[in-house]
Amino acid sequence: ANKTVLITGASSGIGESSARLLASKGARVVLGARRTDKLKEIVDSIAQDGGQAAYYKLDVTDPQQNKDFVVFAKEQFGSVDVMFLNAGLMPSSPLSALKTDEWNQMVDVNLKGVLNGIAAVLPEFVGQKSGQFITTSSVAGLKAYPNGAVYGATKWAVRDLMEVLRMESAMEGTHIRTATIYPAAIQTELLSTITDPGAKEAMNQTYDSYQITPDRVASVVAFAIDQPEDTNVSEFTIGPTIQPW
Ligand code: NJP
């Protein structure tokens, strides 16, 4: 696809895999995250393989940095066609542990980070009457489970944002597409954000039994982007065949 794709949370896992796959298919990818050493490594390796990529130091919790990310992408590649809002954390714990700092962190990154990304690029998409949002929600946003209350709440909220954005764009005639991805267990660095010992143990057990690699999710991202402009594919659930999520 001959498009410019911005990706948040692109320094590892699903974001990194998506950047690599999309660049190999001819997209211009702009990677955002906080760890610039990682981003530089990925961008250099994409360039070595003949792809077009650039990176930007981005903390999604800062509204201004999200705006600057979009400006940077336009300066680099001249257009902004797809915004993949993927950055996220999953410090799971039982509510009774009262890990309120972690609750706030999840709301700030997983939910407000997505809102900041929408605010930064929606005016562009409305102005050009085209554009696509893709978000990484979670199966945790579809089904409640112990230790996952706040994480699931942020991921459910993201689904709601995408669905309303899709409906409003259709009503307003702005031709903006949205797709939400609900992954189950994917092999990434996500579990490193869990500090609660009980939640970590439970989640490790799940991920020891079931997981697939993040390039599988990247294929879904590419599929959503590759649909004709008049076609919106809005939701994807993806996980290991053997996981009863
Ligand atoms: O995890 P990981 P995933 N500002 O840890 C970035 C969802 N998901 O690929 O800033 C900007 O490898 C962080 O970058 P850095 C999950 O909820 C996953 O699995 O450099 N970026 C890194 O690039 C999340 O929404 C599974 O530390 C920030 C990235 O986020 C998405 O998949 C299951 C940031 C996290 O990469 C990608 O996560 C599921 C900030 N403030 C949903 N904070 C799964 N893996 O099983 C973090 O249902 N990042």
Closest CA to 18 of 227, 191, 238, 217: 217
Q: Which residue owns the Cα nearest ligand 1 atom 44?
A: 186
Q: What is the mean pLDDT of residues 123-135?
A: 98
pLDDT digits (tens, 9 = 90+) for 14-63: 999 999 999 999 999 999 999 999 999 999 999 999 999 999 999 999 99
What percent of the chain lies above the pLDDT cut of 90?
99
pLDDT at 74: 98
Q: Ligand 1, closest atom to CA 185? A: 46
- Judge whether residue 238 has pLDDT over 90: yes
Question: Token pair 């700030």 is at which residue?
Answer: 108
Domains for the chain: give ranges and CATH numbers.
4-238 (3.40.50.720)
User: Are the C-beta atoms of residues 194 and 203 closer than 8 Å to each other?
Assistant: yes
Q: Which of 186, 193, 213 for a ligand 1 pocket mutation test, highest count of atoms within 8 Å of Cβ?
A: 186
131-177: per-residue pLDDT in tens? 999 999 999 999 999 999 999 999 999 999 999 999 999 999 999 99
With a cut of 90, say whether residue 1 has pLDDT above it. Answer: no
151 catalytically annotated:
yes
178 lines ligand 1 (CB under 6 A): no
Model ipTM? 0.99
